[in-house]
Amino acid sequence: MAAPPSARRDRINPHFPKLVAMTHDYVYGDVWERQELSKRERSIATIAALVALGWSDQLNSHINRGLGNGLTREEICEIITHLSMYAGWPAAMTASHVAVDVFEAQDKAKG
């Protein structure tokens, strides 16, 4: 599977071609294609990890990816709420703002 389109990744490619190639080939071409977990389950695990680590830029794209992999908005909200007890209130509050930004962008794109 090819890595999903990413303007941010395209931006760094001229300077970090190996990192971008590793993302494409290893992360999306290998790890995300393993059969032991579904893409939906991988999205849950990835969103949870990114919330816990506070990595907002990557969280944005993985919330979008999670929605594409069958997660509902309600499930994403519940993941973030659940993580508030384990990753901390600030991490969950930051993630909630990222999620709402994604939801609003999707609503706007739909018209």
For 93-108, what is the HEC assignment? HHHHHHHHHHHHHHHH
Using DSSP's 3-state secondary structure scheme, residue 51 falls into helix
Same domain for 26 and 67, yes or no, is no
Would you say the pTM of this structure is higher than 0.95? no
Number of domains in the chain: 2
Tell me: do 57 and 105 sit in the same domain.
yes
- Host domain of residue 9: 1-36
Dihedral (CA of 34, 37, 41, 47) sign: negative
What per-residue confidence (pLDDT) applies to 111?
85
pLDDT tens-digit series, residues 95-108: 999 999 999 999 99
- Quick one: pLDDT at residue 4? 64
